[in-house]
Amino acid sequence: MVKVLVVDDSAIVRRILATELDRDPEISVVGTAADPYIARDKIVKLRPEVLTLDVEMPRMDGITFLRKLMKHFPLPVIVVSSLTNKGGEVAMEALEAGAMDVLCKPGGSYSVGDIAVLLREKVKAIAKSGVPKQAIPATTSPGTTIRSMTKTTNMIIAIGASTGGTEAIKQVLTRFPANSPGVLIVQHMPEKFTTSFAQRLNELCALEVREAQDGDSVSPGVALLAPGNFHMVLRRSGARYWVSVKDGPRVFHQRPSVEVMFRSVSRIAGSNAVGAILTGMGADGAQGLLEMKEAGAPTIAQDEKTCIVYGMPREAVKLGAAQEILPLPTIADSIFKYVDQHSRKVDSTHRGSAASANNVNS
Q: Which residue type, as a one-letter code, is found at position 345?
A: K
Omega within 30 of 0 (cis) for the link into 256: yes
What 3 state SS string does 126-182 have? Answer: HHHHCCCCCCCCCCCCCCCCCCCCCCCCCCEEEEEECCCHHHHHHHHHCCCCCCCCE
**In b/e form, how buried is each residue of 216-239, taking b as 16+ CB within 10 angstroms?**
bebbbbbbbbbbbbbbbbbeeeee
In this structure, what are the phi and psi dihedrals at residue 116, rounded to the nearest 5 degrees?
A: -60, -45
In this structure, what are the phi and psi dihedrals at residue 20, rounded to the nearest 5 degrees?
A: -70, -40
353: enclosing H helix or E strand: helix 328-361
On whether the CB atoms of residues 318 and 324 are closer than 8 A, the answer is: no
Which residues lie closer than 8 Å to 351 by C-beta, 6 or more apart?
none
Cα 140 to Cα 302: distance, rounded to the nearest angstrom = 18
Residue 107 C-alpha from the chain's centroid: 23
**In b/e form, how buried is each residue of 326-350, taking b as 16+ CB within 10 angstroms?**
bebbbbbebbbebbeebbeeeeeee
Q: Which residue type, as a one-letter code, is found at position 328?
A: L
On whether the CB atoms of residues 302 and 277 are closer than 8 A, the answer is: yes
Beta-bridge mates of residue 5: 31, 51
- Point out the residues that are catalytic: 162, 188, 284
Cα 344 to Cα 281: distance, rounded to the nearest angstrom = 36
Nearest Cα to Cα of residue 161 among 78, 51, 282, 293: 282
